[in-house]
Amino acid sequence: MGILRRYGPSVLKFAKITFQFGCFAHCFNSYVAEITWCVGPSMLPNFDMSGIVAVEHITHHFRDIEIGDVVICMSPAKPGRSVLKRVIGLPGDSVCKDPTLADRKYVNVPQGHVWVAGDNLSNSTDSRAYGPVAMGLIKGRVFAKVWPNVELLKSNFVPV
């Protein structure tokens, strides 16, 4: 009984602080910003095969996504997985469905959707495979590379 009286209040205080911090961290990661690991060749050469990026969850709710923004979104092809892609078409835009093919077909991006593509078209599963992505599937905008090289991102995308 002596141990419980002696350490009980300290353990409860520690548990309370840990729980509060966990709640804060969860809310921050869900609604403000997060650091996430990205793996795969679809964004080469602008992103490494594996690396860590910083994603913010706020601005796409208050301002429109822009062409050239790199976003993290839920994969329409594999529910439960996230993908990192570049926005190349906005609602109302006419985009080339697959610029790697000689027979160029164009698609109109419907309202409430964006057209996304990997920077490495030869090794990317993107809107060419699963079509326009609903804006509701966008989790956030990537604003920085964190590892292996730290770099703030700015769009240098020029539509043709």
Give catalytic residue positions: 42, 85
- Residue 62 burial (10 A CB sphere; 0-12, 13-18, 19+): exposed
Instruction: Return the structure tokens found at 156.
Output: 């240098």
User: What does residue 33 show for φ and ψ, rounded to 5 degrees?
Assistant: -160, 160
Q: Is 97 helix (H, G, I), strand (E, B) or coil?
A: coil
Q: Is 2 helix (H, G, I), strand (E, B) or coil?
A: helix
Residue pair 60/73 in contact (Cβ under 8 Å)? The answer is no
* Residue type (1 letter), 10: S
